[in-house]
Amino acid sequence: MSGVPAKTLLLSCYACAPATGTEPGFGWFTSRHLAAAGHRVHVLTRAGNRSAIESPSADPHPRVTFHYVRLPPALRFLKEAGGPHYLLWQVAALVHARRLLRAANVDIVHHVTYGSLQGGSLLWALGRPFFFGPAGGGQMAPPQARRYFGTAWRQERLRSALTGLLTLSPLHHVLACRATRMYATNAQTARLMTRLGAKRVQLMLDSGVPDDLIASAVPARTDGALKILWVGRLLRRKALRLALESVAELTVPVHLTVVGDGPDREEVPGWIEELGLQGRVSVLGRVSWAQVMALYREQDVFLFTSMRDSFGSQLLEAASQGLPIVCLDHQGAGDFLPEGAALKVPLRGADTLATDVAAALTRFATLTDAQRRAMGEAALTFARHHRWAEKADRYLRDYGERVGA
């Protein structure tokens, strides 16, 4: 962002690593693009990210300094990236940040990852302008999702209840009240931030795309069976079962490709057999980010069935390759995806979800080539508005409002 005097920024990025589209990538690209705009960036991150950050292929920006924060020796038995480790790491990060502030004149403090309102941050205590997010966490699985969770529904309801109790948490009230600005990845989380006392809340995606990753044009699609892509962790809340039920209801020639791994992986073959989908579904498991990006360019439509998600970085990745989307019309997907790029399925009832998703897929299958291409162009336009460089510019504009440009 030209014309803005160089600032020293302190970012908290517990998750931070190159060559990924998930939360580690959010931390990496945010710090890199803020530095590319001419600012000095200090990044607090967990020690387990060091090998990825310092690998020969990482190419970190020279104006970014990484600080690898570790727990005290007596607590290092805790598994990194787990909940207890993350919460205790926040305390260690605050201690490290206080030492850093004695050596550097930090202008802005920004908590970037994890993007979780529940996990919060303690860095508001540094006495600098403090920005938080983009974060989700306020979204809850709708009642219609119950049968897709199975026995996990009780745990999901407990999570929803605890989310509602955040308004009783003194730490979260202090976090919200001390934040100069909070960014929310969906409207439900924005409302919860406001209830906690945040004065300035803005909707903003946590995910983004590098400039060189966005396709220059919508790829040409081949004739034949409708090629549907589903990408995500195999968790009940991601509702792969809903995707399979929807495909089973289709009468048009179709092939579903499933990418991802997780606790439900052993159940997937049984679901496919039960629904009579043998030969119409390919389950690839976990593949590299580069392979996923290639798949986006080869498919006809991206199907997103998650029952609880801040937004879903897969949606932006698919859009960046000109791939039209079919999704549920709720949470971040409903808040951000433009109508021209996606067919959004309303949550009418638990018994109609699969039929409604199947109807949307059938509708897509009947579109002309020109109509599909128009959806792909709308997806590309959406992705171009969420480039990492543009996100960095927006942060810098907001920082400048607080400390002067």
Report DSSP letters for 84-143, one per residue: HHHHHHHHHHHHHHHHHHHHS---EEEEEES-BTTT--SGGGGSS-EEEEEEB------G
pLDDT mean over 141-147: 93
pLDDT of residue 3: 52
Higher-confidence residue of 5 and 79: namely: 79
pLDDT of residue 258: 98
Length of the chain: 405
3-class secondary structure per residue, 254-315: EEEEEECCCCCCCCHHHHHHHCCCCCCEEEEECCCHHHHHHHHHHCCEEEECCCCCCCCHHH
Cα separation of 187 and 267, whole Å? 33
* 212 alpha-carbon distance from chain centroid: 20
Residues 6+ apart with CB under 8 A from 368: none
* Best CA proximity match to 359, nearest among 251, 237, 218, 227: 251
Res. 177: pLDDT tops 50: yes
Report the DSSP beta bridge partners of residue 64: 41
CB 303, CB 243: distance < 8 Å: yes
3-class secondary structure per residue, 55-72: CCCCCCCCCEEEEEECCC
Measured CA distances, 51 to 17, 35, 92, 266 (Å)? 9, 21, 20, 31
Res. 279: pLDDT tops 70: yes
Q: What amino acid occupies position 55?
A: S
pLDDT class of 1 with cuts at 50, 70, 90: very low
Measured CA distances, 123 to 102, 111, 120, 147, 332 (Å)? 15, 8, 9, 40, 26
pLDDT mean over 316-332: 96
Cα separation of 212 and 27, whole Å? 18
* Best CA proximity match to 10, nearest among 387, 385, 403: 403
pLDDT class of 81 with cuts at 50, 70, 90: confident
Cα separation of 159 and 153, whole Å? 10
What phi, psi does 108 have (nearest 5°)? Answer: -135, 140
Q: Per-residue pLDDT tens for 2-27? A: 456 789 999 999 999 996 768 888 99
Domains of the chain: 8-136+169-208+387-403 (3.40.50.2000), 211-384 (3.40.50.2000)
Of 92-101, 376-385, 392-401, least confident by mean pLDDT is: 392-401
pLDDT mean over 228-249: 97
pLDDT of residue 4: 60
Measured CA distances, 256 to 188, 278, 312, 375, 381 (Å)? 31, 11, 19, 20, 26
Q: What amino acid occupies position 152?
A: A
pLDDT of residue 38: 93
Cα separation of 390 and 376, whole Å? 21
pLDDT of residue 220: 87
pLDDT class of 402 with cuts at 50, 70, 90: low
Which pairing describes strands 181-184 and 201-203: parallel, antiparallel, or unpaired? parallel
pLDDT of residue 405: 46
Q: Tell me whether residue 375 is exposed, middle or buried, using C-beta atoms within 10 angstroms of its C-beta: 0 to 12, 13 to 18, 19 or more.
A: buried
pLDDT mean over 60-81: 93
Cα separation of 141 and 280, whole Å? 29
pLDDT of residue 21: 66
Res. 195: pLDDT tops 90: yes
pLDDT of residue 147: 92
Q: What is the mean pLDDT of the chain?
A: 94
